[in-house]
């Protein structure tokens, strides 16, 4: 999810999704998350420090707050 830094101010529409199809990522019902060119702006508006998100490898908490998680269940 560090890609969100590069998408901010890119001047084009960019959406990046990271997902796991097996549903075994230790968070029941969550298959991944997505970021786009609005993610960092929206995070700043909510007081989310994206540098801290990356340092702590905790995109789940930030993306949950932003409504940018991908839901799903076990597929295999």
Q: How many CA atoms lie within 13 A of 53 on its CB side?
A: 21
CB distance 5 to 40 below 8 Å: yes
Q: Report the alpha-carbon angle 36-58-16, nearest 5.
A: 20
Look up residue 37 and give its two tokens.
Answer: 């060119």
| pLDDT per position as a tens digit, 30-66 | 888 899 989 999 999 999 999 999 899 888 899 999 9
| pLDDT beyond 50 at 1 | no
pTM for the model stands at: 0.69
Please list the alpha-helical segments (H only) found in the chain.
3-7, 39-45, 50-55, 59-66
| pLDDT per position as a tens digit, 2-32 | 444 555 565 677 788 776 655 455 677 888 8
Q: What is the C-alpha to C-alpha distance for residues 31 and 63, in angstroms, rounded to an integer?
A: 12
């Amino acid at each position: 999810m560090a890609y969100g830094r590069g998408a901010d101010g890119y001047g084009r529409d960019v959406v990046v999704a990271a997902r796991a199809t097996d549903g075994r990522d230790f968070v029941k019902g969550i298959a991944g998350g997505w970021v786009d060119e609005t993610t960092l702006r929206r995070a700043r508006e909510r007081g989310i420090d994206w540098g801290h998100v990356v340092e702590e490898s905790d995109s789940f908490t930030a993306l949950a707050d932003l409504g940018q998680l991908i839901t799903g269940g076990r597929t295999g």
